[in-house]
Amino acid sequence: MGIEINKENIGELIAKAFENREIKVYYQPKFNAVNGKIQGAEALARWQMSDGVMISPGMFIPLLEELGLIIDLDWYMFRETCRFISEELKAGRKMVPVSTNFSRFHAREPKFAERLCAVTDEFNVPRKYLEVEITESALAFEGVDIIDFVRSIKDAGFDISIDDFGSGLSSLNFVKDVPASVIKIDKSLLSGNCESEKERIVLEAIFEFAHRLNMITVAEGVETKEQLGFLRTCGCELIQGFLFAKPMPEDDFRKALMEKADVRETEDILLTQSPATATQLLLNAVFKAFPLVIMSNLTRNSFYMMAYDNFSTTSCPSTGVYTELIVHGASTMHPEDQKLFSDTFEINDQIAAYEKGERTRRVVTRQLGDDGIYRRVETTNYYMKNPNSEDILAITLSHALE
* 136 binds, options ligand C2E, Mg ion, none, Cβ within 5 to 8 A by partner type: none
Question: Can residue 223 be called a binding residue for ligand C2E (CB under 6 A)?
Answer: yes
Paired sense of beta strands 216-220 and 182-185, if any:
parallel
Sheet of 292-297, strands arranged across: 319-321, 302-308, 292-297, 392-400, 374-385, 360-368
Q: Which 3 state secondary structure label does DSSP give 218?
A: strand
25 and 43 Cβ atoms separated by less than 8 Å? yes
Neighbours of 333 (CB within 10 A): 21
Residue 340 CB contacts under 8 Å (≥ 6 apart), including other chains:
363, 365
* 103 binds, options Mg ion, ligand C2E, none, Cβ within 5 to 8 A by partner type: ligand C2E
Nearest approach in angstroms of CB 239 to ligand C2E is 9
Nearest approach in angstroms of CB 252 to ligand C2E is 14
Using CA atoms, how far residue 349 sits from 293, 381, 389, in Å, is 21, 13, 20
Paired sense of beta strands 302-308 and 182-185, if any:
unpaired
Q: Which of 140, 198, 206, 199 is closest to 174 using CA atoms?
A: 140
Paired sense of beta strands 38-48 and 98-101, if any:
parallel
* 58 binds, options ligand C2E, Mg ion, none, Cβ within 5 to 8 A by partner type: ligand C2E
* 18 binds, options Mg ion, ligand C2E, none, Cβ within 5 to 8 A by partner type: none
Between CA 303 and CA 320 the distance in angstroms is 6
Among 133, 159, 204, 337, binds Mg ion (CB under 5 A): 133
Nearest approach in angstroms of CB 229 to ligand C2E is 15
Give the per-residue SS3 of 75-139: HHHHHHHHHHHHHHHHCCCCCCCEEEECCHHHHHCCCHHHHHHHHHHHCCCCHHHEEEEEEHHHH
For ligand C2E, the closer of residues 57 and 291 by Cβ is 57
The number of angstroms, rounded, from the C-alpha of 108 to the middle of its chain's C-alpha atoms is 25
Question: Can residue 77 be called a binding residue for ligand C2E (CB under 6 A)?
Answer: yes
Nearest approach in angstroms of CB 366 to ligand C2E is 59
Between CA 149 and CA 189 the distance in angstroms is 28
Between CA 339 and CA 325 the distance in angstroms is 15
Question: Can residue 164 be called a binding residue for Mg ion (CB under 5 A)?
Answer: yes
Nearest approach in angstroms of CB 289 to Mg ion is 41
Question: Can residue 44 be called a binding residue for ligand C2E (CB under 6 A)?
Answer: yes
| x/- letters, 226..265, toward ligand C2E (CB under 6 A) | --------------xxx----x------------------
Using CA atoms, how far residue 38 sits from 16, 97, 182, in Å, is 34, 10, 16
| x/- letters, 149..178, toward ligand C2E (CB under 6 A) | --------------xx--------------
Q: How many residues bind ligand C2E (CB under 6 A)?
A: 25
| x/- letters, 220..239, toward Mg ion (CB under 5 A) | x-------------------
The interface region with Mg ion, picked from 8-16, 161-169, 256-264, 331-339 by CB under 5 A, is 161-169
Nearest approach in angstroms of CB 329 to ligand C2E is 50
Among 5, 38, 41, 45, binds ligand C2E (CB under 6 A): 45
Residues in contact with ligand C2E by CB under 6 A are 28, 44-45, 56-58, 61, 70, 73-74, 77, 101, 103, 133, 163-164, 187, 220-223, 240-242, 247
